Structure 1
Amino acid sequence: MRRRELLSFVPALLAGSLSGCLDGVGAGTPSTGTTPEPLPPSGYGSLSEFDAGDPFETRQIGEPSPAHHHRIVVWNDDSERRPVSLRLRDVSTDDVVFAFEPTFPAYGTLLVEVFRRSDYVLDVDPPTDDGRLLGIRRDFVDCNDSATHVAVRPDSSVRARVVSTAVACDVGSATVEESDSESQTGSTSAPAEPSGTPTPTPR
């Protein structure tokens, strides 16, 4: 399969005219006295290569907005067709945003565009392995171009990471990739670049 650049199907970034687009992380959280639900890690395992191409299906959460967006990219890293069960739950309302089990084509990619700012839990359940819960934090859904990459390996194991091209916002942000003991946890920020294509960095 021909290698493709990360996020090759992501539309071009905005011209950088947006400012102040990172809202407070606590905005819209449960009222005082309610203990927020802890999110599972946003990344899991090692994911150094990600060859996702054009999606065979796209889902959308919320109304499209340049100020608030995040992409969930699920890639079937296998030469065989197979079903993968996906479930996305909004933590603040406990509503299941979607739950379905598409049959992924060989090396097929499914894209979920998230425009509604909230904390989410993504359940990825391959057919022959234990499922994996991943946290999608509300601060990921901002004006930076970011994505949660999920790869379902040939052995049905799940690997995931968060990447961000932090160039669309005028405010800087430090981002952290959370994972289990198989991957490094760190903090990086990606400044705006004057020209060219921004390089995704771990989030």
Structure 2
Amino acid sequence: MPSPLIPLAAALAVLAALLAPSAVVAAPAPPERLTRADLLTLEDHVVVYPDMRDPLRTVMRSPVFSPRGCEDQGVAVRGSSAIEGSVSPSSRRRSVALIDQTLVRFDSVRKARALVQRYRGFSKHCVGDVDTDDGEGSDVRLKNRAWFPPLVGDESAGMLIGWFQSDFADWRRVLVVRTGRTVSVLDVSFTDVRPPQRGVVALGRLAVERLD
């Protein structure tokens, strides 16, 4: 005859499991706040653009203004944390005129990828010339050109825009790079000529190294 203690022991084990405190699933840690240390340094810029003598740098808390479809006015994207570094040479020359780098960190990879897609969509669907104004009544012609850069980081996208006003021409090559939940947007402006791809991509790779 089976011992009545065996079913009783099993019942007690089940009861103990039911009464035991359930494991608490820890909430994901909030994204770390971006700091100046995450941005490219002056030395990084001079390595890529050695003719950028005595560069000036400013750092601020700023969103990135990403494409709003094909409109010439961008939409502000702030994420969970954002920081911008702006570097320019001490004197304007027929080469690099300004480099803006904005870092935006999100609370999910999905949101970070969506920002990259904005720029990729611009190069796919918004190529052509656009006649607009500079906000102060003067005519401007924008030359929107497609640019699909090589893979940098987890994914990358880009665009190329020429700003033509009177006898002034300014070309901007934008490289967008995602590393996990963080997106680096590099906006490199040249006077008169298009910024060569090689230097912009080199800066993008340095940006990834700082974020890894």
Relative to the length of structure 1, the TM-score reads: 0.29
TM-score (norm 2): 0.29
Of structures 1 and 2, the one scoring higher in RCO (CA 8 A, sep 6+) is 1
* Structure number with higher helix proportion: 2
- Asked which structure has the greater CA Rg, the reply is 2
